Each structure stands twice: as structure tokens, then as C-alpha cells.
Amino acid sequence: MALDDAKQTLLPELKDHSHVNEKNDLQRRRPWRSSSSPELDTHRPDQNAVQTPSPLVPLAAKSKFSFRQVFMLLAAHLGGGTLCFFLIRNQIKGTKTNGFLDAIYFCVVTMTTVGYGDLVPDSMLAKLLACIDVFTGMALVGLILSKAADYIVEKQEIILARAIHLGEKVGPAELLKEVETHKIKYKFLMTATILMILIFMGILFLYLVENLEFMDAFYCVCSTITTLGYGDQSFSTSVGRTFAVFWILGSTICLAQFFLYLAELSTERRQRSLAKWVLTRRLSPSDLEAADLDHDKVVSAAEFIVYELKEMGKISEHDISVIMERFEKLDYDQSGTLTATDLKILCSGLPAAT
Amino acid sequence: MALDDAKQTLLPELKDHSHVNEKNDLQRRRPWRSSSSPELDTHRPDQNAVQTPSPLVPLAAKSKFSFRQVFMLLAAHLGGGTLCFFLIRNQIKGTKTNGFLDAIYFCVVTMTTVGYGDLVPDSMLAKLLACIDVFTGMALVGLILSKAADYIVEKQEIILARAIHLGEKVGPAELLKEVETHKIKYKFLMTATILMILIFMGILFLYLVENLEFMDAFYCVCSTITTLGYGDQSFSTSVGRTFAVFWILGSTICLAQFFLYLAELSTERRQRSLAKWVLTRRLSPSDLEAADLDHDKVVSAAEFIVYELKEMGKISEHDISVIMERFEKLDYDQSGTLTATDLKILCSGLPAAT
């Protein structure tokens, strides 16, 4: 087919021009070289450059940076919180163990909004600090959910895919494609697996170390991971609170992430069913007419792509109109198409208004 | 300009063909009639229809239905929860007022994960019911956040925009455009306003009715809306618990929505800065080459739109390739464009394989 050929012949050219390391078959199949990462593009002519310096770093690097940033923020928050509560440890009442341990335990129980109430602030200052801790903690947990947790799960999902397809003859490329296509499903399954392990660990610990009955241990785990924290059952020993610091942080975030992926999964399913409807519906002459952007009575591949994307709700009228504005500005000879001529006029400076 | 003219001449045709009620200038400017809502399209030929019946309802109607559905679910959850906890009221220990009121108060405090601990389950059955209440409650609150709350805020944001631009000479069309462009900003501001009112109401109520000191009232409000709920300060009177049922539900959801919009706002800002970079960067000959999908040495408006959307990260390679697959299937004469001829072949039945 004509367009298939066009796509095929495009590939060798791309390989010659692109300096991006291509990791796998999937990425090698991309019809267009991405120039979203200015650093990677060594072919952009710099003479007569009027371009404003871009503040953007490559997206992948940015996302990695955020992960480290979030981790540092969490460490800073825990460190600062623990120090504050340690200094005012006499203004906190309740079941106490070790001064330092109680401070970090109180900080975690507060920032995750579990709030058992086995330790409660007993002065204006302590109450104010607890309020600050819970608000900043909530924002931080939100940040972890949106940046770090997703990043960690993404790193693990290929392992899960490998485990699921164990014994089957599936190559690494197919496995990667499977994970790419059902990204959210694998993330959801990965999170569910981790959550199950954390719940099991919690019950076992409360049963063995805190000497709770099995049902009470289960109830305490549910009450904690959901951040309910009535406080009738909580961690009262030194060993228990040491475990609790890590376990509460991990399990509350994991459950929240579980619900987030569940929501994403349902959104994705809805979007897929809409996309499927768009892609299988019968095309009418009025569809063709509506898709024909340049009114030449035929619908090109690109026109069809734009029309279908819009029907799927993936792009909006506004997205299209801002790009159209730019197109019209770039199209100096007003031919309705962008050519090398337009770029030459652009490079030689702005022409007189026509 | 050529393309501007094309857009202008397209408009009267659209008005003739479209039966969609056009509410305002903004919508009237849409270059393409949307056919995402099959029910609204009366021009689709039905003879020889091979299309599978679409299970999709119009998106707007679907979203309204979801809102009602969510409200019914909330009512069912509260009703069922209250009945259960009322029936086992002797298996709940703590500060009690009125049997029915305590049951609904306990249900709300549990499902929002506030968990003061002023009322705690005292039997295996009560603990199990509390666990069920908190998990289903969390899922329900998540559903409210993703469906109903957004819907309510959307209805209100025009009021806020009107209030902000009070005294200025701004027409209703401009106001609507302003809200459309800065949708998330207005939603965020609206939620912040409601949150402030709820916090103020809570403090005032605790101060006047529950006779707490001002700072304790503030601390109790913070501890509640964040769902921390240590339980050292809570609602202990009949009047207080009646107020709490509505106020806790409203304020915890409102704070969560506030954080959600804050996150959306930052995502939107990042997307906008990327879009701005894409739309202001200098176009190089290699960009033109990459955008030229059909290899005819010129870049049409639609090709440019697809290329820029991809650079902005709004659409993926996968989005494009599935539509390209469909395009190639529809293009029976393999001309590289879709024409009325292709549709005719499609209508007269599948041709022999070429």
C-alpha cells in the first residue's frame, strides 16, 4: 500500500538523521523522530538563531530528578518533624516508649493522617506543629503518589509480566510490548501484589510481636492502611513502633496508589471503548466533508488522523486552533502548505507585511 | 489567508448540517462538527448498515447519569451503614448520645477515615462492619472526587468568574471564554473558597456549640478535615454530631478536591510550558521532513497539526498508528487519500482482496 511504503522508506532516513539511542523494536517503529528534547537534536542550525533559550530539560531526566527531589523532601520532612516532636516530647501525652522513636512514630502517624490518638499533642505549640505536619505531610504523600510511587511501580512491572508469562515462550520484545499496551493493568496488578504482602506482614507482626489476636491484628491493619486509626489498637512497644514507622508509610501510600490505579484503569477502559467505537463506526460522506480541512475534496492521512483524534476526545478544538495560528504565521507565501521556501524567508528575517 | 478563508467558508455549511444546539460564540467557531454523539447525527445513512450497534451514550448525558448514580450510591451507603451500626449499637463503646444519630455519625467518621475513636467497635462483628465501611467508604469518596465534586464545582465556576470580574465591562461570552481557558484555575479557586467557608463554619460551631477554646476549635477542624482524627477533640453533643455528619463529609471531600486541583494545576502549567516551547521553537528543515507524512515535500496544515501534537506529548505513536491502520483499510483504491469513491466501494460491500 502507498502509505505503508511511505512509512517503510522513512525508516532508514530516520536512523541516519537521529542520534537518539533506539532501545527496542517498539521505539524503532516510530514514524517521526521526536525533537521534544532539544539537547538530543544536533542537527538544528544555530546561525541567525532567534529562538528563545528553552528552560526545558528532557522529559525523562526531569521525571528522574523529581523522584530524587521527592525522596529528599520526604527525608527532610521526617527529619524536621522528628526533631520538632523530640524537642517538645514533654508536651505530647500518651503511651510512651523511647523519646526519639516516639517522635518519629508520632510524625509518621500524623503525616499519613492515621492519627491513632495513642500519642496526642498536649500544648498549643504541639497542636500547631501537628497541624503543620499533617498538611505538609498530606501534600508530600500526594507528591509521592503522583511522582515517586508511579516511577517505582513502573520499574517493577516488567518483573511481574515476566512472572505471569513464566514457562510460556515469550521474547523480551514481546514482553515489553505486552507491558506497554497494558501499562496500567500491570501497574495495578503490581500494586495489588505489594499491598497484599504489606497487609500480610502487618497482620503477622501484630500477631507475633504486639501479641494481638488474629482478628484484632487484621482489624488494626485495616484501620491503619485506610488511615482510619481509631486508636483502640495501635503499636505500643519499641519494636512495634520501629516497624510501624516504615510499614505505615509504605502501606498507606500503597493503598492510595491501588485506588488511583483502579480509577485510571476504569478511565482507560472508557477511553478505549470510545476509541474503539470511533475506529469501527461507519464513515459517512459528512464525516469525510468534516475531515477535509483544506477543502480539496480528498482526505489525506494526516487530516484523517486529526479528525479521528478529535472524535476520540484526545485533542480539543483549542489544541488545533493554537497550532493552526502558528501554521498560518509560518506559511509566509500563503500557499496553504509549509515548504523549504517558507523556512528560508523565516531565516532571512521577517518580510514586509503582505 | 487561504486557510483562514477555508475555515470561514466551512462555517455556514456546518450550521446547515449540524443539528446540535450551539450555545455560544466559542462553540460556533469549531471548524468541525463533532459526531462523537451518534444520537445527534441525523445525517448518517442507515441503508446497508454493517456498523455494530454502539453501546455509547452521549458523553454529557453519561456524565450527568454518573453524578446521580454517585449520589444514590452515597445515600445507599449511608443508609445501609447507619442501619447496621444502629442494630449493633450495643457492640459500640464510647461517648454516646442518641442511638440513631450515633450510628450515622460513626458511619461518616469511619467512611471518611477520620476515625476519632470517641466511638469504637467492641465486638468482632462491629470491627468487621467498620472495616467494610471504611473500604467501601474510601472507594465511594474516590468516586465522588472523580465524578460528582468536579461536576458541582464546574457548575459554580462561572459564578466565581462573574464575582471576580464584577464592575469590569465583561460580556457573558468573554466571561465564558475566560473560564474555558483557565478552567482548572477557576475550579481550584472555587474549591479554595468553599474550603475556607467550611473551615470557618467548623471553627465557629465548635467554639459556640461545643464550647471549645478558639485554638482547640481550630486544631479540631484541622485534625478533622485532614482525616487525622486523634480523637482528643471531637463532637460529643447531639447537636454537634448532627452538624458533624454533614460537615465532615463536605469538608474532607473538599480538602481532597483542593489537593487534586492543585496537582492538576501544576500538571497543566507544565503541559502549557511544553506546548509553548513547541509552538515558539525555531522550525528546522529536519522538522519539516519529519512532519511530511505523505512524502510530497510539502507540509499540509493537518500534517503540521499531527506533528506538533506529537511534539507536545498530547498524542502518542500508538494513537497515530491505530488510526493509520484504519485509514489504510478504508483507502480501498490505495490512492493515499480517502475519497467518495472509497466510501462507495465500502457501501457496496467488501471488494475482493487486492
Encode pLDDT of B174-217 as tens digits: 878 777 778 888 889 999 999 999 999 999 999 999 999 999 99
Q: How far apart are CA A137 and CA A141, in angstroms?
A: 6
Residue whose C-alpha cell is 511522582:
A147
Query: Of B62-71, B89-98, B149-158, which gets the smallest average pLDDT?
Result: B62-71
Contact A334 B215 (CB under 8 A): no
Q: Which residues are within 8 A (CB) of B147 and not within 5 positions of it... i.e. 6 or more apart?
A: B63, B66, B67, B70
Q: What does the pLDDT look like over B295-307, one tens digit per residue? A: 888 888 899 999 9
If 0-12 CB within 10 Å is exposed, 13-18 middle and 19+ buried, where does residue A34 land?
A: middle
Best CA proximity match to B185, nearest among B100, B95, B262 = B262
As beta bridge partners, residue A121 has A92
Q: Which of B131, B323, B330 best probes binding to A when mutated, by most A CB atoms within 10 angstroms?
A: B323
Q: Of A63-72, B5-14, B145-154, which has the strongest mean pLDDT?
A: B145-154
Q: What distances in angstroms separate CA B46 from CA A286, B40, B348, one per listed residue? A: 13, 14, 13
Mean pLDDT of A136-141: 93
Cell of residue A106, nine digits? 508520632
Higher-scoring residue by pLDDT: A2, A342 = A342
Q: What does the pLDDT look like over B301-344, one tens digit per residue? A: 899 999 999 888 888 888 888 898 888 888 888 888 888 888 87
Q: What does the pLDDT look like over A8-47, one tens digit per residue? A: 333 333 333 333 333 333 333 334 434 443 333 333 333 3
Q: How far apart are CA A302 and CA A229, in angstroms?
A: 56
If 0-12 CB within 10 Å is exposed, 13-18 middle and 19+ buried, where does residue B120 land?
A: buried
Q: Which of B265, B338, B344, B354 best probes binding to A when mutated, by most A CB atoms within 10 angstroms?
A: B338
Q: How far apart are CA A336 and CA A331, in angstroms?
A: 7
Higher-scoring residue by pLDDT: B271, A81 = A81
- Three-state DSSP at A287 gives helix
What residue type is B236 in one-letter code? S
Q: How far apart are CA A208 and CA B195, in angstroms?
A: 44
Residues of A in contact with B44 (CB under 8 A): 282, 284, 286
Q: For the structural domain made of B62-273, what CATH number should be given? A: 1.10.287.70
Q: Tell me the DSSP string of B82-119.
A: HHHHHHTGGGEEES---HHHHHHHHHHHHHTT---SSE
Q: What does the pLDDT look like over A198-214, one tens digit per residue? A: 999 999 999 999 999 99
Q: What integer pLDDT is reported at residue B86 of this predicted model?
A: 96
As beta bridge partners, residue B337 has A300
Q: What distances in angstroms separate CA B199 from CA A85, A110, A141, B221, B299, one per listed residue? A: 26, 20, 22, 7, 56
Q: What integer pLDDT is reported at residue B31 of this predicted model?
A: 40
Cell of residue A161, nine digits? 509480566
Q: What distances in angstroms separate CA B175 from CA A99, B157, B182, B265, one per listed residue? A: 57, 11, 11, 20
From the CA of A282, how many Å to the nearest CA of chain B?
Answer: 6
- Mean confidence (pLDDT) of chain B: 79
Q: What integer pLDDT is reported at residue A271 of this predicted model?
A: 83
Higher-scoring residue by pLDDT: A322, B121 = B121
Does the pLDDT of residue B154 top 50, yes or no?
A: yes
Q: Write out the H or E segment, with its range, that includes residue A93.
A: strand A92-94
Q: What integer pLDDT is reported at residue A314 of this predicted model?
A: 86
What residue type is A230 in one-letter code? Y
Listed by start position, the domains of chain A span: 59-273
Q: Which residues are within 8 A (CB) of A188 and not within 5 positions of it... i.e. 6 or more apart?
A: A258, A261, A262, A264, A265
- Mean confidence (pLDDT) of chain A: 79
Question: A192-208 burial, b if ≥16 CB within 10 A, otherwise e?
Answer: bebbeebbeebbebbbe
Closest CB from A30, A277, A282 relative to B50: A282
In this structure, the number of other CB atoms found within 10 A of the CB of residue A159 comes to: 11
Does the pLDDT of residue B23 top 70, yes or no?
A: no
Closest CB from A6, A273, A311 relative to B294: A6
Q: What does the pLDDT look like over B65-81, one tens digit per residue? A: 578 888 999 999 999 99
CA angle centred on A160, ends A159 and A163, rounded to 5°: 90
Please, are residues A241 and A127 in contact by the beta-carbon 8 Å criterion? no
Residues of A in contact with B134 (CB under 8 A): 222-223, 226, 228
For A117: left if phi > 0, alpha if psi spans -120 to 50, otherwise beta; the answer is left
Q: What does the pLDDT look like over A335-350, one tens digit per residue? A: 888 888 888 777 665 5
Residue whose C-alpha cell is 481509631:
A230
What residue type is B9 in one-letter code? T
- Three-state DSSP at A324 gives helix
Q: What does the pLDDT look like over A222-273, one tens digit per residue? A: 999 999 999 898 999 999 999 999 999 999 999 999 998 988 888 888 888 8
Domain with residues A59-273, CATH architecture: Orthogonal Bundle (1.10)
Closest chain B residue to the Cα of A127, Cα to Cα: B219
Q: What distances in angstroms separate CA B344 from CA A137, A291, B333, one per listed residue? A: 62, 17, 11
Q: What integer pLDDT is reported at residue A350 of this predicted model?
A: 52
Q: How far apart are CA A256 and CA A14, in angstroms?
A: 42
Q: How far apart are CA B170 and CA B152, in angstroms?
A: 24
Q: Which of B11, B30, B32 best probes binding to A when mutated, by most A CB atoms within 10 angstroms?
A: B32
Q: What integer pLDDT is reported at residue A341 of this predicted model?
A: 81
Q: Tell me the DSSP string of A199-268.
A: HHHHHHHHHHTS---HHHHHHHHHHHHTT---SSS---SHHHHHHHHHHHHHHHHHHHHHHHHHHHHHHH
Q: Which alpha helices (DSSP H) does chain B contain, by range?
A: 2-17, 25-28, 59-87, 99-111, 124-143, 149-164, 172-181, 183-208, 214-225, 238-280, 285-291, 301-311, 317-330, 340-347
Query: Of A92-96, A304-308, B158-162, which gets the smallest average pLDDT?
Result: B158-162
Q: What integer pLDDT is reported at residue A349 of this predicted model?
A: 58
Q: Which residues are within 8 A (CB) of B123 and not within 5 positions of it... i.e. 6 or more apart?
A: B88, B91
Q: What integer pLDDT is reported at residue B317 of this predicted model?
A: 84
Residues of A in contact with B321 (CB under 8 A): 29, 31
Q: Give, as one character, the DSSP assignment of residue A44.
A: S
Q: Does the complex come out with an ipTM higher than 0.85?
A: no
Residues of B in contact with A335 (CB under 8 A): 2, 298
Best CA proximity match to B286, nearest among B275, B299, B268, B305 = B299
Residues of A in contact with B306 (CB under 8 A): 302, 305-306
Q: What percent of chain B has pLDDT over 70?
A: 79
Residues of B in contact with A319 (CB under 8 A): 309, 312, 314
Closest chain B residue to the Cα of A15, Cα to Cα: B290
Q: What integer pLDDT is reported at residue B350 of this predicted model?
A: 52
pLDDT category, A145, cuts 50, 70, 90? confident
The C-alpha torsion from B185 through B188 and B189 to B192, rounded to 10°, is -160
